[in-house]
Every structure is written in C-alpha cells, then in structure tokens.
Structure 1
Amino acid sequence: MKSLSLLLLSFLLLPLTSHGINPGPEEPTPGDPGTPGLCADDNLQPGQHQRSLTIDGQRRQYILHVPRSYTGDREVPLLLDFHALHTSSGYQLDNSGTQQVADQQNVIVAYPQGIDNAWNLGPCCTESRTVNDVGFAREIVEQVSAEACVDRKRVYATGYSNGGGMAYILACRAADMFAAVAPAAFDMISEVQCNPSRPISVFAHRGRLDVIVPYRGGPSTPPTGYDLDPITFLGAEGSFERWSDLNSCGGSSSIGNNCVASGNCAGGVENVLCIARLGSHSPWDAQTSWDFLKQHSLP
C-alpha cells in the first residue's frame, strides 16, 4: 500500500540506532503501575528506548521517549504520536515536535512503528486489513504503564496524515483508554464506522489547500501511479460536524486563531477544528496541540 502523503515520499527510513535509541529490554514483565500520586521506584532513565511487543502473533516496535525531567516519583501523562505513511517512528520522533514539548512539559511519548510504514484504518492503508493497530496502541499503554509512572487518566493520541487517521480510529474504538486526540492533515473516512464508548475531546488541524486529503472531502487523491483502495473523506468541516454529533454538542462558534469549536458537548468534552487558510498537507504545531490535550482527562 502506497502513501497518501505526496510531501513525504522522499524521506527514507533511518535505522533506529541513528536516532540514539537505547535497545533496552524488549518485553518487560508487567508490574504494579502504582496508585495515583504514588509510584513504585523504577529504573527507567530519560532518553530514547526501543521497545517491542507481540500482538496477534506479530512483533511490533515503538520508540519510548522519556523526558529529562522524569524521576519516576509522580505520575506523568503519556502521549502516543503516530507517523505518516511511508515514514517511520524515528522520523516522527525527530520531526513532529512532540519530543521537545515532552521535555518541557514532563510527558512520556511513545512513537509506534506501523506495519508497512502505515496504519490500518479499515479501507486503508496497510497491505493487510488484519493488522491490529488498535490492539497495538492499547498494549503500548499497558506496557509503558507497567514500566513507568503514568497517569492513566491522561493518555492521549496524536498523529500526522495517516497517523492522524489512526488518532481518529482510537477516538472511535478506544475512548475508554484515551482522554483526547489531536489528528492533523487527515479527516474521518465515510467507510469507517465510529461508535466511541463515551464522548471524547478532539482537536483537529487542517490545511485549506490540502490536495492529498481534500479539505472539502471526497475521494482520496494519491500521487499518479499509486494503486490505493478507494477512500472517501468527510472533509474537514464534515469531520468536525461528525464529532459534534458523536459528542452530542450544540452549535459551533469561532474561538479565534482560525479555529471553531462546538458548544455544550456531552461530558464537558471539546470539539475543535483549526484551519491553516494557506496550509497544504501540513503537520500541526505540537505545542498548540498539547495545550489542548493536557486540559482533558478521563472521567
């Protein structure tokens, strides 16, 4: 399966060692994650660590970034940051900006690696539709929580392009575990059923001039010569309206900075769409996304 992201096709996957990643233990034995405000001592050190686990017989990998300020003596948030098609967890670590935010805000970030450098959204985008990426994300949260002092009420997902689609999928299918999501440069797909177990906060960033994921929605427009299954996007505004419905929100209004928000959503959640009027298939500002995410926690 080929990339939807025309802008990122030129980037090559880099070996994990080029990112200064420590191999570390591959599948640590789950332990007691501790109680709120009180964590057991651990030996997890700041820096990048390579981790692996097995889901449905498939060996999966992710990079774990532990901020410099992490001491293990109090609970910290956990963010999963999903890469775009045809890139990698290492590329996302180096370029998304979440690593820098994590060091400033004391957040642990996991950078999952997709099979085929892609995420299974249902109608796309891995070669096999049997890849269990939702299970992979859930198990990352469990594994990191067993190793580190994680605030289980403050677990979040973000991602760019196909990775943004993965953040949407987790909002639809894992709202019991993820407090809020922040997808960028992707929209909801009409072929995908979405039935979140509870209202969940969504912060979406879209470029109005995006031709890879059309701002107004409709069929995907991959680069010429790429054989992709048909995908029909709801569009930026259509996705925003869909989440307003899913979250039982009232009307919407501008909140400044080219952003619009739904009002009176169930459970006190928020639904926000921010638009880069001259933006194309553009990633988000990591700090702005985090400023939204950190305000939300599981009920």
Structure 2
Amino acid sequence: MSTGGYTRTYSVYSPDGRKGPLPALFVLHGGGGKGRQLREHTARRFEALADKEGFLVVYPDGLNKSWNDGRGQPGARNVDDTVFLGALADSLVAAGRADPRRLHAVGISNGGFLAHALACRDAARWASVAAVVASLGENVDCRPSRAVPVLMVNGTEDRLVPWDGTEVRFLGMSRGRKLTVPATAAKWAELDGCQPTPVRSELPDRADDGVRWSLESWPGCKGGAEVLLYKMEGGGHTWPNGTPYLPRLVGRTSRDVDFEVLVTAFFRRHPL
C-alpha cells in the first residue's frame, strides 16, 4: 500500500473458514528484520493460535527494515509509522476483515518500542499492546487518550536494551535513549490510573535454560486496563521460545513460558 509518500509492504494470515470482521494482531519485527523473518522466528505459533481462536495475524514491514519508534535513531526520520499502521488497520477494517474494537500490537525490540509509541499516540485505535525486550523511548510524548492495557517482557541480562539503563546500544553504538524498564512500567501504571505498588508473583521454572520468570502487575487500573511486567531473570535480548541466534550477542532465550499463548490471552481480555 502507499502511504506518506512511500510504498509499504505487509502480509496477512487469515484463518481458514472464519468470516470477518475478526480480531487482528499486528506483529512488529525488530530492527534489521522483516515481518516474514519474525514469522519464522516464532515458528508461526501465532498462526496456529489464529486457526484455533479465529483472528488475523498481520506482519507489517518497516521501511529499510526499521521502525521510526520515537527514539530519534532508527528508521527514516520523516516516516510516521504510527500513520502507516493506522492506515493499514483502517484498510483491513474497511474491507470487513478486521474488527475495529479488537486491534492489537505486539513487537520485539525496535518493534516493541513502536508498540509503546502506538499506545501513547493512538490509544483510541489500539485496544492493547505488548512489548518484548523494549521500553518507552525518551522522546515519545506519551499522553494516551485512555487507559491502555500494556504487557511487557524484558530480560535482566539484555545488553542492547538494558533493564536499568537509559541508552540503547548495539555493537558499541548508541541507538537512542529510553526510560529504564521499571520506569516504563511505572509510567504506564501512572498513566492508566493503577495503584502505585505492584503485586509480585513467581512463575514456574519449567526449563533448564538459566532463566527464571516473575510477574509484577499493577492493580486497580482505570477501565479494566492491566499493566503487566514479566521479568526474565537471566534472560537476554530475545523472544521467549524464539529460534536461538547469536547467543554471545543477545544472551539467553527462555523456554519457560508459552509466550504466544500468554500474549493472545492478554489481547482477548482487552477489546476497546
């Protein structure tokens, strides 16, 4: 499709035998990738769930393999990816394929930063978002029009998007500034009108992978929203259960949680 003066590409997986409009899950790749690569990296597990539960899986492509997520570093700076994804969502809604009350986004790294930005900038459109190994870009003006359900998952040993760090770095180069992971979750809890103190719980340590999971959840959010922070103690800059790659650079990949099932259940709980 053409938007903002650029030709943009994407693919859509539609479950067989399901009539629209259906919920739509936008899956946003990381920097240097494309939608089809994240599709394979996740072993098409979202598509298996789509067949079972009946939703669209949308794989958009960033321009030049990156997203303009508000950090000021990645992507072409005159490209508004919020507008692109909104236009893509509108086209699917207009075609009767997507339900406008059930548009959701999940992204990893650069795509996760963009998921946060979507919730900040276009809360009236996106029902909920999830961000993997990402936080909120420092330059994002975050003033959502409503309480947005937000799910985060981050690793404590992530060297690219450090848990307590305020700078994204890759191969020794700065890739923009950000809030820390705890500060991002606390910011969303504040924006969503949640109680300030989270409830912490441990998840079962199912795999011998050097990673343990815990959950911090903020109760009492406005409008039934949730703010969830899944902490991968020992985890790296990786998608849970993703195909391992460059472990010396990105760190450990967790096998403890059926992550796509978890994310899909979160989205199901939160239509507009």
Give the TM interval when normalised to the shorter protein: 0.7 to 0.9
Say whether residues 1:138 and 2:86 are aligned partners: yes
Match of 2:21 among 61, 65, 75: 75
1:165 Cα deviation from its structure 2 partner: 0.7
SS in 2 for 1:280: coil
Using structure 2 for the length normalisation, give the TM-score. 0.84
The question of whether the paired residues in 2 share the 8 Å contact of 1:217 and 1:238 is answered with no
Say whether residues 1:154 and 2:154 are aligned partners: no
SS in 1 for 2:9: strand
Percent identity (aligned): 26
Match of 1:252 among 169, 194, 198: 198
Matching residue of 2:271: 297
- Which residue type is aligned with residue 269 of structure 2? Q
> Counterparts in 2 of 1:72-151, with a 5 A limit?
72=19, 74-96=20-42, 97-151=45-99
Matching residue of 1:16: none
Between the aligned partners of 1:255 and 1:77, the Cα distance in structure 2 is 30
Q: Deviations over 1:49-103 (max 9, x none)?
A: xxxx111211111111111342x2x532111110011110111222233222222
The question of whether the paired residues in 2 share the 8 Å contact of 1:116 and 1:126 is answered with no
Which structure has the greater CA radius of gyration?
1
Instruction: Give unmatched runs, 5+ long, in structure 1.
Output: 1-52
Matching residue of 2:221: 265
Matching residue of 2:9: 61
Using structure 1 for the length normalisation, give the TM-score. 0.77
The question of whether the paired residues in 1 share the 8 Å contact of 2:30 and 2:110 is answered with yes
1:127 Cα deviation from its structure 2 partner: 4.3
The question of whether the paired residues in 2 share the 8 Å contact of 1:55 and 1:132 is answered with no
Say whether residues 1:165 and 2:133 are aligned partners: no
Between the aligned partners of 1:126 and 1:259, the Cα distance in structure 2 is 30
What is the aligned-residue RMSD (CA, Å)?
Answer: 1.5
1:109 Cα deviation from its structure 2 partner: 1.1
Instruction: Give unmatched runs, 5+ long, in structure 2.
Output: 204-213, 241-258
- Which residue type is aligned with residue 68 of structure 1? D
Between the aligned partners of 2:229 and 2:261, the Cα distance in structure 1 is 16
Between the aligned partners of 1:279 and 1:254, the Cα distance in structure 2 is 18
- Which residue type is aligned with residue 293 of structure 1? F
1:244 Cα deviation from its structure 2 partner: 0.7
Between the aligned partners of 1:115 and 1:210, the Cα distance in structure 2 is 25
Q: Deviations over 1:183-231 (max 9, x none)?
A: 101011222211111110001011111011001122222113x5x45x2
